[in-house]
């Protein structure tokens, strides 16, 4: 593990008369205190009162206090009760809190214990160079807790774990030190920032053969542009018939990681396969997106979030240099525009053995910003729903992994081409061409078993114990699609069985190749392509 969280609880966190972690360090009365309780062997206790207690209700502590009331007890029994109250606070994470028994005159059989609720009184953040100190303090909620809320080690540990999962931080360590007064503590946090710059390269055959299947893509990203954790990413992709460039900027708005994102994508395509290559069939698409995402529940092991986004997409198509509509939903001159509001929900649950992700998204095509609206469908007004489910499970058998993914798309209206559900290819049904079937509605499902068979490490690149693993990956894919108010494709479903080979050189370099055997024949009238043989490959590298 590249990181660690160190919580050093010094035994002198509480000075004489206060509480430490071990039972032997529980608070004792100061040497000069000689309460009357210690001078008697037995005393009748009618009622026990707690002073300064705000953490636990009287009903909660009554189970501890009750056996000592309305009976005669010894001084040793009262000391035992004090230790139990202290231990209860410690066991619930309040390591600098506990009980003391002050000198007092016992009247009417009433004895008062004082509860000391320890607090964080200071915090020191070090190691951050570009990431602003307030960014770290706000996520640890230090400004709210210092001098206010009782210190709870479980809460602090969870916040540190969440901060460690932040993409801007490589490692973090923390240490608690005793404060100047009884029950006080100071926190020292040292972090190491992750490298802000990233540059990636990938090469694959994951594009439709009509515009050239072999795709090269470069991307560059800065994960902390302003010091507030904002991310700026840009990229460029190229095939024989495609030029695409895109950028996104995402900025967290508060300590709860509410994120505002802005995106732009521009693609220019031309059909390059015979017999259509001489027709100069072109299409240009521009997409602008603004989105807001907020996690309503977030822990180191799970998250529940929702988001809203607005997307505007414009498309123009040409034939022999003149505007031409190739699909329903476009104007006769080949122009088409949609404006879509999307409401999304996401649930993530992770543990050592598995990760489960479920997503849902509603899409509302609306008449805004020049969206194409026609008397006949399809046009820019529609309603869709997309549900996705992913499950990754680590298995003891052969130290392997099982992956399952599925997606369901439903629409109550015929959809323009830009909103169609695509089935076939590397991300849906391997063994078939990319976008083999496009429909208004669709269902896909895939199961894959990754079994490590060998380890081939590359010096200076493969550094982690699992780096260099070569895996064989048998899989089964299925997909089917159907239209709303129009004829379904024939065939309307495809499926495949196949085998993949993956080489994870490190978390920054990997290569994969999959071969799928289509269980249903599907004829393609244009040029033969490697995808027609069921082969899909990709090489990925993070340069820095």
The answer on 17 and 145 residing in a single domain is: yes
Q: Side by side, which strands form the sheet with 169-178?
A: 119-126, 184-193, 169-178
Supply the pLDDT for residue 331: 78
Domain membership of residue 260 (yes or no) is: no
Contacts 24+ apart (CB under 8 A), 218-223: 221/197, 222/196, 222/197, 222/198, 223/167, 223/168, 223/194, 223/196, 223/197, 223/198
Domain membership of residue 94 (yes or no) is: yes
User: What Rg do the C-alpha atoms of the chain give, in angstroms?
Assistant: 32
Quick one: which of 343, 323, 315, 492 has its CA closest to 416?
315
Task: Find the domain containing 163 and state its range.
Answer: 1-194
Contacts of 24 (CB under 8 A, 6+ apart): none
Supply the pLDDT for residue 11: 35
Contact 218, 236 (CB under 8 A): yes
Instruction: State how many domains the chain has.
Output: 4
Instruction: Report the alpha-carbon distance of residue 527 to residue 524 in Å, rounded.
Output: 8
Instruction: Report the alpha-carbon distance of residue 478 to residue 493 in Å, rounded.
Output: 8
The answer on 374 and 246 residing in a single domain is: no
Burial of 364 (0-12, 13-18, 19+ CB in 10 A): middle
The answer on 370 and 458 residing in a single domain is: no
The answer on 470 and 331 residing in a single domain is: no
Supply the pLDDT for residue 522: 84
Contacts of 57 (CB under 8 A, 6+ apart): none
Domain membership of residue 285 (yes or no) is: no
Domain membership of residue 530 (yes or no) is: yes
The answer on 350 and 364 residing in a single domain is: yes
Domain boundary (148, 177, 194) is at: 194
Measured CA angle at 137 (ends 135, 141), to 5 deg: 115
Contact 389, 360 (CB under 8 A): no
The answer on 124 and 23 residing in a single domain is: yes
- DSSP character string of 200-211: EEEEE--S-GGG
The answer on 212 and 188 residing in a single domain is: no
Contact 369, 288 (CB under 8 A): no
Residue 426 host element (H or E): none
Supply the pLDDT for residue 7: 37
What is the three-class DSSP state of 419? helix
Max CA separation in the chain (angstroms): 108
Domain membership of residue 121 (yes or no) is: yes
**Phi, psi for 488 (deg, rounded to 5):** -80, 155
Extended strands (E) in 271-353: 282-299, 302-319, 322-323, 335-350
DSSP category for residue 487: P
Q: Tell me, rounded to whole angstroms, the distance of Cα 524 from its chain centroid.
A: 40
The answer on 30 and 19 residing in a single domain is: yes
The answer on 361 and 484 residing in a single domain is: no
Alpha helices in 386-432 (DSSP H): none
Supply the pLDDT for residue 238: 98
Supply the pLDDT for residue 172: 95
Domain membership of residue 265 (yes or no) is: no
The answer on 174 and 29 residing in a single domain is: yes
C-alpha separations of 331 from 168, 343, 373, 374, 440 in Å: 46, 28, 10, 9, 19
Contact 484, 409 (CB under 8 A): no
Domain membership of residue 288 (yes or no) is: no
Pairing of strands 184-193, 215-222: unpaired
Instruction: Report the alpha-carbon distance of residue 141 to residue 443 in Å, rounded.
Output: 44
Domain boundary (194, 223, 245) is at: 194
What is the three-class DSSP state of 290? strand
Burial of 23 (0-12, 13-18, 19+ CB in 10 A): exposed
Instruction: Report the alpha-carbon distance of residue 180 to residue 229 in Å, rounded.
Output: 35
The answer on 222 and 183 residing in a single domain is: no
Q: Which two tokens stand for residue 116?
A: 């000391």
Supply the pLDDT for residue 39: 65
The answer on 480 and 411 residing in a single domain is: no
> 378 preceded by cis ω (within 30°)?
yes
Contact 415, 384 (CB under 8 A): yes
Q: What is the pLDDT along the chain (544 residues), one digit of tens a residue?
A: 443 433 343 333 333 333 333 333 444 443 444 445 656 678 899 999 999 999 998 889 999 999 999 999 988 899 999 999 999 999 999 999 999 998 787 888 899 999 999 999 999 999 999 999 999 999 999 888 888 889 999 999 999 999 999 999 999 999 999 888 888 899 999 999 999 999 999 999 999 999 999 999 999 999 999 999 999 999 999 999 999 999 999 999 999 999 999 999 999 999 998 888 888 899 999 999 999 999 999 999 999 999 999 999 999 998 888 878 777 777 788 889 999 999 999 999 999 999 999 999 999 999 998 888 877 778 889 999 999 999 999 999 999 999 999 999 999 999 999 999 999 999 999 999 999 999 999 999 999 999 999 999 999 899 999 999 999 999 999 999 999 988 999 999 999 999 999 999 999 999 999 999 999 988 877 788 999 999 999 999 998 8
Which residues partner with 514 through β-bridges?
500, 536
Helix axes 153-164, 133-140, angle to 10 degrees: 140
Domain boundary (194, 217, 238) is at: 194
Q: Scanning the structure block, which residue is given the tokens 């923390």?
A: 174
CATH of residue 37: 3.10.20.310
Domain membership of residue 326 (yes or no) is: yes
């Amino acid at each position: 593990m590249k990181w660690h969280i160190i919580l050093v609880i010094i035994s002198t966190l509480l000075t004489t008369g206060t509480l430490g972690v071990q039972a032997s360090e529980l608070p004792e009365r100061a040497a000069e205190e000689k309460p009357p309780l210690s001078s008697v062997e037995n005393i009748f206790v009618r009622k026990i009162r707690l002073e300064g207690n705000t953490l636990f209700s009287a009903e909660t502590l009554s189970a501890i206090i009750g056996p000592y009331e309305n009976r005669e007890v010894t001084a040793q029994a009262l000391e035992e009760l004090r230790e139990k109250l202290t231990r209860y606070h410690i066991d619930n994470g309040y390591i600098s809190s506990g009980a003391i028994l002050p000198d007092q005159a016992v009247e009417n059989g009433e004895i008062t214990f004082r509860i000391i609720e320890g607090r964080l009184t200071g915090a020191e953040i070090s190691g951050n160079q570009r990431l602003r100190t307030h960014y770290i303090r706000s996520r640890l909620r230090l400004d709210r807790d210092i001098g206010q809320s009782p210190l709870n080690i479980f809460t602090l540990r969870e916040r540190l774990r969440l901060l460690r999962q932040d993409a801007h931080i490589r490692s973090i360590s923390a240490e608690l030190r005793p404060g100047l007064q009884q029950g006080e503590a100071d926190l020292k946090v040292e972090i190491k920032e992750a490298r802000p710059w990233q540059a990636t390269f990938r090469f694959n055959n994951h594009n439709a053969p009509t515009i050239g299947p072999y795709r090269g893509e470069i991307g560059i990203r800065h994960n902390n542009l302003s010091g507030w954790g904002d991310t700026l990413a840009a990229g460029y992709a190229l095939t024989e018939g495609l030029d695409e460039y895109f950028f996104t900027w995402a900025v967290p708005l508060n300590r709860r990681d509410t994120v505002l994102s802005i995106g732009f994508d521009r693609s220019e395509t031309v059909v390059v396969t015979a017999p259509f290559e001489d027709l100069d069939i072109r299409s240009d698409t521009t997409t602008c997106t603004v989105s807001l995402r907020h996690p309503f529940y977030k822990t180191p092991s799970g998250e529940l979030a929702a988001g809203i986004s607005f997307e505007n997409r414009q498309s123009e198509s040409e034939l022999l240099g003149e505007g031409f509509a190739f699909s329903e939903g476009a104007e006769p001159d080949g122009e088409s525009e949609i404006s879509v509001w999307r409401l999304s929900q996401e649930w993530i649950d992770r543990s050592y053995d598995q990760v489960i992700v479920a997503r849902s998204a509603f899409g509302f095509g609306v008449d805004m910003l020049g969206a194409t609206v026609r008397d006949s469908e399809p046009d820019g007004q529609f309603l869709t729903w997309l549900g996705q489910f992913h499950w990754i499970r680590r298995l003891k058998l052969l130290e392997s992994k099982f992956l399952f993914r599925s997606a369901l798309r439903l629409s109550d209206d015929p959809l323009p081409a830009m909103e169609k559900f695509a089935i076939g290819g590397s991300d849906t049904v391997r063994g078939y061409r990319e976008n083999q079937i496009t429909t208004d509605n669709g269902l896909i499902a895939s199961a894959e078993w990754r079994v490590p068979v060998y380890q081939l490490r590359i010096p200076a690149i493969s550094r982690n114990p699992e780096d260099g693993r070569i895996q064989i990956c048998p899989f089964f894919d299925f997909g089917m699609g159907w239209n709303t108010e129009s004829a379904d494709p024939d065939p309307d479903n495809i499926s495949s069985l196949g085998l993949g080979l993956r080489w994870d050189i490190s978390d920054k370099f990997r290569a994969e190749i999959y071969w799928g055997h289509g269980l249903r024949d599907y004829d393609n009238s244009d040029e033969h392509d490697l995808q027609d043989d069921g082969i899909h490959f990709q090489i990925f590298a993070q340069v820095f």
